[in-house]
Chain A
Amino acid sequence: MPAPQCATCHKARAALRRPRSGRALCGACFCAAFEAEVLHTVVAGRLLPPGAVVAVGASGGKDSTVLAHVLQVLAPRLGISLRLVAVDEGIGGYRDAALAAVRRQAARWELPLTVVAYADLFGGWTMDAVARSTAGSGRSRACCTFCGVLRRRALEEGARLVGATHIVTGHNADDMAETVLMNFLRGDAARLARGGGLGSPGEGGALPRCRPLQLASQKEVVLYAHFRRLDYFSEECVYAPEAFRGHARHLLKLLEAARPSAVLDLVHSAERLALAPAARPPAPGACSRCGALASRALCQACALLDGLNRGRPRLAIGKGRRGLDEAGPPRDGEPERAPAPDAVPAF
């Protein structure tokens, strides 16, 4: 049985059905609709004002590739200019291949690319070194905790290097829904209270961040990349199987199969949560060491690195954090000191 006509242009044969509405569209009309929706998200939320210099967090994966491509298409209408910032976490066998994809993309789109590496920014601590340091106690390695915090720090640094005014990342609706589920399962009331919305407006000197793809479902992102023939890196991170997010992701896939609107319903629920004032995070101040945005004396990145440098990597995770805020610089002669001599990260 031949495919139906495209519901928009009525000329070409439909190539897909949109996951949420079930409308049959041809490739070109679908891509146009996708771009129109992203444009609407950005314009309605006033996320990227004209004249903004936008740093795109590019990992080489499907989300950031699609994001960069769509923003490039929309850049003339929005009046923004783009810079690609890639973060090298130092994960052997994974990140090098992904970076190669980013370099190809930068060449293809003719966008300036800056690569910031953990090893340079954080005193020689690559993710592989972190994983070795936290391994072996019989508990989980909690690699994703370190990677997430440090990557946001690195992205901020890279954005400043290129003189950007805004940071965008490629989180899609599925990512947001998984985060909501994860935060509930872990009991992270502070993140639940803070979460939702379209990104952060950039308080306390941090650059404003937003997620233009936030309302697009993951399937549509993949389909867009397919129809526009975008070249991206599709393997998963070496440490991904250990992550708790895997459980949330599995659950979300099942929920979506049972009821397609579950993804956006989760995001909507998170926006409407009302938490007690005591559960909310305190008003943010500045980190005493590096000056970045922090809810406590030390920002999370400095706290994590402090723990690593002291040979007690889990110091900043969980309740052990309490003793850290009053601590001074690390002592000499620690058994698992990073190779570089400077203990305080040079920002």
Chain B
Amino acid sequence: MCQVGEDYAEPASEEPPPRQPGREQKCVKCKEGLPVVVIRAGDAFCRDCFKAFYIHKFRAVLGKNRLIFPGEKVLLAWSGGPSSSSMVWQVLEGLSRESAKRLRFVPGIVCIDEGAACGLSPEARAKALAEMKLILQTVGFPWHVVALEEVFDLPPSVLRCFAQEPVGTEGAYKAAVDSFLQQQHVLGAEGAGDSPSLAQGEEQLSWPCTQDPQNPQSPDRPPTAAQTEALSRLFDSVKTLTAKEELLQALRTHLILHVARTHGYSKVMTGDSCTRLAIKLMTSLALGRGAFLAWDTGFSDERHGDVVVVRPMREHTLKEVAFYNHLFAVPSVFTPALDTKAPEKASIHRLMEAFMLRLQDQFPSTVSTVYRTSEKLVKAPRDGCAAGPPGPRCLLCMCALDIDTAGAALLSQGGPPSPRHRAAVLRLPCEHEGLALPGPPAALHLGRGPAPQPELLPQGLHRAADPGVPG
């Protein structure tokens, strides 16, 4: 309806007559097969053409943004849900010998068990874990199952920010591939057994449940009850569901990246689909993360320095993913998430999801329009902002701090705030709500007033903070 640039030039009488549904309709691509699915507002595809279309899109996204080097170790983040399962299946098929132009990287799978945060009982968690292991064994890549409780054991070095490579140009890709292959060759010559992680001075923790298909007999060490208790306490201390979701995402990202670093993976692939990314974009807007949209929803996310997060499923809508999984029997595991069965108004994330899906019903181009806008975002501070040396980074999301330094003092309702009040409230950088650290007051934006009731981070995360980072 109200899309900018929508073409209204032709008067209504020249509209093509509506297509007759029924026996006469054929696949729009090959014009022969019987269509089984309609995608993209009116295009009917037959089974084979749909499969070709789907696979082609996956390859095209990888090929267009030339970031994956041949022979590189890539970690696939699998949650058990439909999008990430589809991604794992695509990689599996893409690596098989029969496929044309087969993919040339070395995959591994990581799966984070978040049952403690979602309040699942140990039996439910064990059951879900067993189902997942079945599928992981079928897939056959080296896999790592990590419980979210491990986040308490993360070394402070995860918060250290590594130097970022600037985004390269065409010639840079070839040069990068060459240097990468050279590096691999050198490492192979030195006889290193496992590719050493690229970070210096990284501690090697003993990770439970790390499997190679060749030796499946490693002992299973579930997290201790004390750790589970600590994690539940952490999540209970966060008052709103919105903040819980954000915390979960931050912890999950840190954990996945640590697994990647420890085992020498230089890229991580996540299965965010087009629909999910559009919802994520709108949610980030509402949370005040406008400055970081390009990192949150773009194809590649290099803010962690050495490990790059890549989103190859970003052009597949949820509908396509669901139909593909159904038609081609892609296995997936359902695990309840933080907001399963939560009412619609419980968190910003739920609200946005419900809103976008409802709007999509009425205006079928909503998701693709938001996605196209996200493609126009660039990873740079807005013109006019200081382009000086990179400042300190947020502990949770590793983005540069985004605080108002407009110089306007806090305007309160009648008189300056008391010193005690000032000391207790620091609008946490990057707009993470519900979590506040004591410290000097930041210059707050005019008229916003003091932040809502702050809570302090529990001691566990204080320990994890690198003492060198401010706050």
Residues of A at the B interface (CB closer than 8 Å) are 7-8, 18, 20-21, 23, 25, 29, 32-33, 36-37, 40-41, 44, 137-140, 142, 180-181, 184-190, 192, 215-216, 244, 247, 251, 254-255, 257-262, 264-266, 268-276, 278-279, 312, 314-315, 317-320, 323
Q: A7-B413, A215-B446 are in contact. Are A254 and B1 (CB under 8 A)?
A: no
Does B197 count as interface, using CB distance less than 8 angstroms?
no
Our pick among B12, B377, B406, B449 for the contact of A276 (Cβ within 8 Å) is B377
Contacts of B378 in A (CB 8 A): 274-276
Contact A189/B376 with A37-B411, A272-B290 known, Cβ cut-off 8 Å: yes
14 cross-chain CB contacts under 8 A: A137-B11, A137-B12, A184-B373, A187-B373, A189-B376, A247-B355, A255-B348, A258-B242, A261-B452, A268-B404, A268-B431, A270-B285, A274-B380, A319-B9
For the complex with contacts A8-B415, A20-B449, 19 further pairs of A-B residues with Cβ separation under 8 Å are A18-B449, A20-B448, A21-B449, A41-B447, A139-B12, A187-B3, A189-B373, A244-B1, A244-B2, A251-B352, A251-B355, A265-B286, A265-B288, A270-B285, A274-B377, A274-B381, A276-B378, A279-B376, A318-B8
B6: chain A residues within 8 A (beta carbon): 317-319
B contact residues, total (Cβ < 8 Å): 63
Give CA–CA (A41, B448) in the complex, Å.
12
CB–CB B287/A265 < 8 A? yes
The reply to whether A44 and B2 contact each other, CB–CB distance below 8 Å, is: no
Q: Residue A33 contacts which of B294, B346, B404, B414 (CB distance < 8 angstroms)?
A: B414
Q: Which residue of A lies closest to B283 (CB)?
A: A255
Closest A residue by C-beta to B450:
A21
| CB-CB under 8 A for A184 and B447, given A23-B413, A29-B414 | no
With both beta carbons as reference points, the residue of chain A lying nearest to B241 in the complex is identified as A258
CB distance from A38 to the nearest CB of B (A): 9
CB distance from B218 to the nearest CB of A (A): 44
Q: Which of A37, A181, A254, A318 contacts B5 (CB 8 A)?
A: A318
**B377 and A8 contacting across the interface, CB-CB below 8 Å:** no
Q: Which of B3, B12, B414 has the most CB of A within 10 A?
A: B414
- Does B249 have its Cβ within 8 Å of any Cβ on chain A? no
Q: How far is the CA of A319 from the CA of B369 in the complex (A)?
A: 15
Query: Is residue B157 within 8 Å, beta carbon to beta carbon, of the partner chain?
Result: no
Chain A hits for B380, CB < 8 A = 274
User: Measured between alpha carbons, how far is A239 from B469 in the docked complex, in Å?
Assistant: 54
CA of A167 to CA of B379, assembled, Å: 35
Please tell me if the beta carbons of B290 and A186 are within 8 angstroms of each other in the complex.
Answer: no
Instruction: Report the separation of the CA atoms of residues A32 and B413 in the bound assembly, to the nearest whole angstrom.
Output: 9
Taking the nearest CB of chain B, how far is it from the CB of A188, in angstroms?
Answer: 4
The complex places the Cα of A248 from the Cα of B376 at a distance, in Å, of: 22
Known A-B contacts A21-B450, A266-B286; A272 and B2 likewise in contact (beta carbons under 8 Å): no
Give 1 or 0 for each of B276-310: 1 = CB within 8 Å of chain A CB.
00000110111111110110000000000000000
B7–A319 CB distance below 8 A? yes
- Total of A-B residue pairs, C-beta within 8 Å: 186
Asked whether, in the complex, the Cβ of A255 is within 8 Å of the Cβ of B351, the reply is: yes
Please list the residues of chain B having a beta carbon within 8 angstroms of any beta carbon in chain A: 1-9, 11-12, 240, 242, 281-282, 284-291, 293-294, 345-348, 351-352, 355, 359, 366, 369-370, 372-373, 376-382, 402, 404, 406, 408, 411, 413-415, 431, 433, 445-452
A188–B445 touching, CB < 8 Å: no
Cβ B12 vs Cβ A269 within 8 A? no
Complex partner residue of A25 from B7, B345, B413, CB under 8 angstroms: B413
Interface residue SS majority, chain A:
helix
Whether B369 and A186, one on each chain, are in contact in the complex, defined by CB atoms closer than 8 angstroms, is: yes
Give the top 7 A-B pairs by smallest Cβ distance, nearest first: A269-B290, A265-B288, A320-B9, A21-B449, A314-B8, A272-B291, A215-B447
B316 to chain A, nearest CB (A): 19
CB < 8 Å neighbour of A269 from B288, B404, B445: B288
Chain A residues with Cβ below 8 Å from B402 are 272
Contact A275 B377 (CB under 8 A): yes
Return the chain B residue nearest A39 by Cβ: B411
Contact A259 B447, beta carbon cutoff 8 Å: no
Complex formed: what's the CA distance from A319 to B4 in Å?
A: 8
CB distance from A305 to the nearest CB of B (A): 16
Contacting pair B290 A273 (CB below 8 A): yes
Contact of B382 among A18, A33, A260, A273 (CB under 8 A): A273
Asked if B382 contacts A186 (CB within 8 A), the reply is no
Q: CB-CB < 8 A to A319: which residues of B? A: 5-9
Contacts of B345 in A (CB 8 A): 254, 257-258
B376 near A276 with CB under 8 A, answer yes
> Interface centre among B8, B282, B294, by most A CB within 10 Å?
B8
Chain B residue nearest in CB terms to A250: B355
What's the nearest-Cβ distance from chain A to residue B377, in Å? Answer: 6
Cβ of A25: which chain B residues have Cβ within 8 Å of it?
A: 413
**C-alpha gap A36/B413 in the complex (Å):** 9
Is A274 a contact partner of B291 (Cβ separation < 8 A)?
Answer: yes
Q: Could you say which residues of chain B place their CB within 8 Å of the CB of A44?
A: 406, 408, 446
Bound form: Cα–Cα A204–B73 in Å: 55
Query: Chain B residues with Cβ under 8 A from A254's Cβ?
Result: 345, 351, 355
Chain B residues lying within 8 Å of A190, measured Cβ to Cβ, are 4
Q: Are B285 and A266 in contact (CB under 8 A)?
A: yes
Identify the closest chain A residue to B344 (Cβ).
A254
Chain A residues within an 8 Å CB radius of B12: 137-139
User: Are B370 and A185 in touch, CB under 8 angstroms?
Assistant: yes
Q: Find out whether the CB atom of B376 lies under 8 angstroms from the CB atom of A140.
A: no
- Rounded to whole angstroms, the CA-CA distance of A40 and B287 in the bound complex is 26
A184 touches B370 (CB 8 A): yes
Of B2, B379, B449, most buried by chain A (CB within 10 Å of CB) is B2
Q: Which residues of B contact A20 (CB under 8 A)?
A: 448-449
The docked-state distance in angstroms from the alpha carbon of A139 to that of B12 is 9
Q: Cβ of B1: which chain A residues have Cβ within 8 Å of it? A: 139-140, 244
Kindly provide the distance from the CB of B303 to the nearest chain A CB, expressed in whole angstroms.
14
Nearest CB in chain B: distance from A242 CB, A: 9
Set B359, B376, B448: member contacting A261, Cβ < 8 A: B448
| Interface contact B449-A265, CB-CB below 8 Å | no
How far, in angstroms, from A189 to B281 measured CA to CA in the complex? Answer: 14
Contact assessment for A21 and B290 in the assembled complex, using a CB-CB cutoff below 8 Å? no
Question: What separation, in Å, do the CA atoms of A272 and B370 have in the docked complex?
Answer: 17
The reply to whether B286 and A315 form a contact with Cβ atoms under 8 Å apart is no
- How close is B85's CB to chain A, nearest CB, in angstroms? 30
The complex places the Cα of A270 from the Cα of B431 at a distance, in Å, of 14
* Complex-state Cα separation, A332 to B223, whole angstroms: 83
The docked-state distance in angstroms from the alpha carbon of A190 to that of B380 is: 17
A314 contacts which of B9, B286, B450 (Cβ < 8 Å)?
A: B9
**Which residues from A are CB-within-8-Å of B11?**
137, 312
Q: With CB as the reference atom, state the residue of chain A lying closest to B12.
A: A137
Give the residues in chain A near B445, CB-CB below 8 Å.
215, 264, 268
- Kindly identify which residue among B242, B359, B372, B377 contacts A247, using a CB–CB cutoff of 8 Å: B359
A189 to B369, alpha carbons, bound, how many Å? 10
